[in-house]
């Protein structure tokens, strides 16, 4: 990934090797010796409240996004480094170890791989560059000191050959060493979405008792008397006993009664599912822009 390509990713979304969003690029840092992109300072956490250094080794552009060769959890677990101050050599070495990258023990005082001189650079704060202070610094620290350690991308084209102790003049500063143009910038509103939990839905069943009435047909036996006259066919049975006597006959009667039995029978399967609906929400925020006025003293 070259310098021209990296210059387009400031403010872009950063995704991990699995495509999960990590945050967005706050700043790109260049190596002092090679002038190649080395670190990305990434805003992570809710509302970008945390900044983490991520190596650009193995990174690539995926559309408008920057994909790094590390997973989201590894980036978020990186050692905390205050981006507002200089990065010490031990902090840089700790970052290398966290990401599993090679870091030479025989490194120069600048904290860069062996071969960097780490000398002959004048710091506008009066600190000698040979004291071993590291040279990875934020954009605001770099404006007054070109060629000092790993640098943000915007200072990559500043002349590094002048080590006489004079400071370089910014393009928007009036003076004999500036060019004839100034940069006008403005803030652009970039709106994204994040998923948050709104509640929980549970599927629960309970037992309800209700009364069920059904009509069931039942049978019963009833007795009635049948009379038949004496005929030749039954005269024998009719005269087989005593002529006059007491006698008794008994008959058993029966009837059907309802019998109730209950059995649990599966009726249906019920589950919870989710549908995604899309709504439109308006987001408003104040953005700033620079306006340029012309003061023409020649007409006074």
In a domain, 120, yes or no: yes
Q: How far apart are CA 85 and CA 38, in angstroms?
A: 18
Q: What is the pLDDT of residue 109?
A: 34
What's the CA gap between 106 and 116, in Å, rounded? 11
* pLDDT tens readout for residues 176-197: 455 678 899 999 988 888 888 8
Cα–Cα distance measured from residue 237 to residue 230, given in angstroms and rounded to the nearest whole number = 10
**What's the mean pLDDT in 158-184?**
54
**Whose structure tokens read 């610094």?**
137
User: Using 50, 70 and 90 to split pLDDT, how confident is the model at 85?
Assistant: low
Give the tens place of pLDDT for each residue, 30-83: 776 677 788 888 888 665 567 888 988 888 888 888 899 999 899 888 887 776
Residue 167: inside a domain: no
Q: Does any domain span residue 259?
A: no
Residue 298 lies in a domain: no
Q: Which of 186, 183, 75, 82 is nearest to 141 (CA)?
A: 82
What's the pLDDT score for residue 222? 95
**Does residue 235 sit within a domain?**
no
pLDDT of residue 104: 60
| Statement: residue 210 has pLDDT above 60 | yes
Kindly state the average pLDDT of the residues 236-263: 90
Q: How many domains does the chain have?
A: 1
pLDDT score recorded for residue 300 = 56
pLDDT tens, position by position, 96-155: 889 888 876 443 333 333 333 333 333 333 333 333 333 344 333 433 343 334 545 554
Predicted local confidence at residue 87, as pLDDT: 63
CATH code assigned at 143: 2.30.30.240
By the 8 A CB rule, do 146 and 156 touch? no
CA distances to 199, 222, 249, 257 from 252, in Å = 71, 10, 11, 16
pLDDT for position 126? 36
Arithmetic mean of pLDDT over the chain: 75
At 72, list the tokens. Answer: 């989201």
Task: Please report the pLDDT score of residue 135 as a whole number.
Answer: 38
Number of C-alpha atoms within 13 angstroms, CB side, residue 251?
7
Write a three-state SS string for the chain.
CCHHHHCCCCCCEEECCCCCEEEEEEEEEECCCCCCEEEEEEEECHHHCEEEEEECCCCEEECCEEECCCCHHHHHCCCCCCCCCCECHHHHHHHHHHCCCCCCCCCCCCCCCECECCCCCECCCCCEHHHCCCCECCHHHHCCCCCCCCEEHHHCCCCCCCCCCCCCCCCCCCCCCCCCCCCCCECCCCCCCCCCCCCCCCCCCCCCCCCCCCCCCCCECCCCCCCCCCCCCCHHHHCCCCCCCCCCCCCCCCECCCCCCCCCCCCCCCCCCCCCCCCCCCCCCCCCECCCCCCCHHHC
204 occurs within a structural domain: no
For residue 271, is it within any domain?
A: no
| C-alpha–C-alpha distance, residues 76 and 236, integer Å | 115
Q: With bands split at pLDDT 50, 70 and 90, how would you rate the model's confidence at 29?
A: confident
Q: What residues make up the domain containing 83? A: 3-155
Q: What percent of the chain has pLDDT over 90?
A: 27
User: Rounded to the nearest 10 degrees, how much is the dihedral formed by the CA atoms of 140, 143, 146, 147?
Assistant: 20
pLDDT of residue 217: 96
The number of beta carbons lying within 10 Å of the beta carbon of residue 103 is 15
pLDDT of 279 above 80 = yes
Residue 35 located in a structural domain = yes
Rounded Cα distance between 248 and 279, Å, is: 94
């Amino acid at each position: 990934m070259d310098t021209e390509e990296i210059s387009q990713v400031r403010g872009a979304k950063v995704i991990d090797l699995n495509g999960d969003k990590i945050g967005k690029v706050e700043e790109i840092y260049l190596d002092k010796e090679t002038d190649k992109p080395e670190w990305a300072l990434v805003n992570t956490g809710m509302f970008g409240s945390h900044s983490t250094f991520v190596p650009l080794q193995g990174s690539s552009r995926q559309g408008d996004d920057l994909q790094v060769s590390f997973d989201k959890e590894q980036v978020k677990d990186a050692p905390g480094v205050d981006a507002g101050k200089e990065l010490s050599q031990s902090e840089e070495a700790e970052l290398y170890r966290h990401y599993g990258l090679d870091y030479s023990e025989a490194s120069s005082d600048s904290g860069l791989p062996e071969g960097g001189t780490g000398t002959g650079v004048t710091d506008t704060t009066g600190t000698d560059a040979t004291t071993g202070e590291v040279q990875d610094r934020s954009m605001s620290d770099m404006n007054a000191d070109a060629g000092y350690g790993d640098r943000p991308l915007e200072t990559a084209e500043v002349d590094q050959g002048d080590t006489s102790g004079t400071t370089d003049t910014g393009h928007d500063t009036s003076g004999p060493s500036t060019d004839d143009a100034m940069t006008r910038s403005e803030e652009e509103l970039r709106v994204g979405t994040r998923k948050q939990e709104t509640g929980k839905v549970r599927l629960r069943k309970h037992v309800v008792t209700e009364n069920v009435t059904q009509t069931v047909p039942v049978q019963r036996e009833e007795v009635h008397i049948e009379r038949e006259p004496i005929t030749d066919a039954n005269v024998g049975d009719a005269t087989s006993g005593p002529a006059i006597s007491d006698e008794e006959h008994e008959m058993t009667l029966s009837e059907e009664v309802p019998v109730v039995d209950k059995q649990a029978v599966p009726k249906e399967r019920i589950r919870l599912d989710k549908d995604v609906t899309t709504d439109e929400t308006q987001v408003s925020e104040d953005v700033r822009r620079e306006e340029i006025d012309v003061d023409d003293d020649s007409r006074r």
